[in-house]
Amino acid sequence: MTRTIANGAVPVDGGHIAYDRTGDGPPVVFLHGGAMDRRMWDPQLTLTDTHTVVRLDARGHGASSTPSAPFRHYDDVADVLRALRLGPVALVGLSMGGAAALDTAIAYPDLVSAVVACGTGASSAAAVDEHLFRDPWTQGRLAALAAAATAFDPHAWTEAFLEIGLSGPYRPLSDVDPDVVARCREMIAHTLTTHVVHGGPPPSALPDAAARAAGIAVPVLGVTGAIDSPDHVRMVRELVETVPHGQLAVVENAAHMPNLEQPDVFNALLRRLLDRI
């Protein structure tokens, strides 16, 4: 059955957060990774047969506003949930979005019924920090990202980002489904030309998020691609060992974006968690 996707925007302090909403049933809210936008969750729209699916564009991404003052992703998420009269909801996030989902569960526990965190740990683990990214391959790619940003070279930045965020350290980008690569390139280009070119402050992290994650009382499913970078795999494993109700899922033949590379497997994992709650 074809679902009508309703688009909208919620005013937040200093801007707005764009969203779309479709389906019926218990709400599931999707938070995308850095440089991406809510379109990365297109393969998860099949969940609308049993759930209300809400997808957000983070500030500085997609159709949301470009940051003009300090902000916090988890505050934006909470503002949207309250404005749409949702909650508690299952939050599903990848990388930056996974960290935002965990932060929201820590800061606003009444709004969250479960968390799926893919390729990340608590918010500090989503930052570019030499203490968190220890693997030489990841450090090299982060250095390439920083050099491209300094040189204002969007092509070099995109290629370095795709290595970290899509192909991973164990295969060339040419081994990834060309349709997935093209989809990611389109989202990255939109982010760079619509938001990054205008600058703006980065998001503020939740203080002591990694330590406070032990207080998350709801189920947490940590998902990692089997061929993601060692640092990202480690962060997910540490997360599920920290939270009281953590469970680990490893998606074979996928790196940092298993929802795009193995959508059937990823969606089955989501449905099992959602059935439990």
What pLDDT is stored for residue 131 in this prediction?
Answer: 67
Fold of 6-132+201-276: Rossmann fold (3.40.50)
Blockwise average pLDDT, block size 10, the chain, 277 residues = 77 96 96 98 97 98 96 97 96 97 97 98 58 88 95 96 97 98 98 92 89 95 98 95 97 98 98 93
Of 76, 75, 84, 78, nearest in space to 20 by CA: 84
- The percent of the chain in helix, strand and coil, each rounded to the nearest 5, is 50, 20, 35
What pLDDT is stored for residue 1 in this prediction?
Answer: 47
Domain boundaries, the chain: 6-132+201-276
What pLDDT is stored for residue 125 in this prediction?
Answer: 44
What pLDDT is stored for residue 126 in this prediction?
Answer: 46
DSSP 175-201: GS-HHHHHHHHHHHHHHHHHTGGG--P
Over the chain, what is the mean pLDDT? 94
Instruction: Please report, rounded to a whole number, the percentage of residues in the chain having pLDDT higher than 70.
Output: 95
This prediction's pTM: 0.96
**Which pair of tokens denotes residue 82?**
């309250």
> Measured between alpha carbons, how far is 47 from 62 in angstroms, rounded to an integer?
22
Q: Count of alpha carbons within 13 Å of 3, Cβ hemisphere only?
A: 19
Of 266, 268, 277, 262, nearest in space to 98 by CA: 266
Cβ atoms of residues 30 and 19 within 8 Å: no
Of 38, 56, 54, 49, nearest in space to 5 by CA: 54
Question: In sequence order, which residues have a C-beta less than 8 Å from that of residue 153 and are 6 or more positions away?
Answer: none
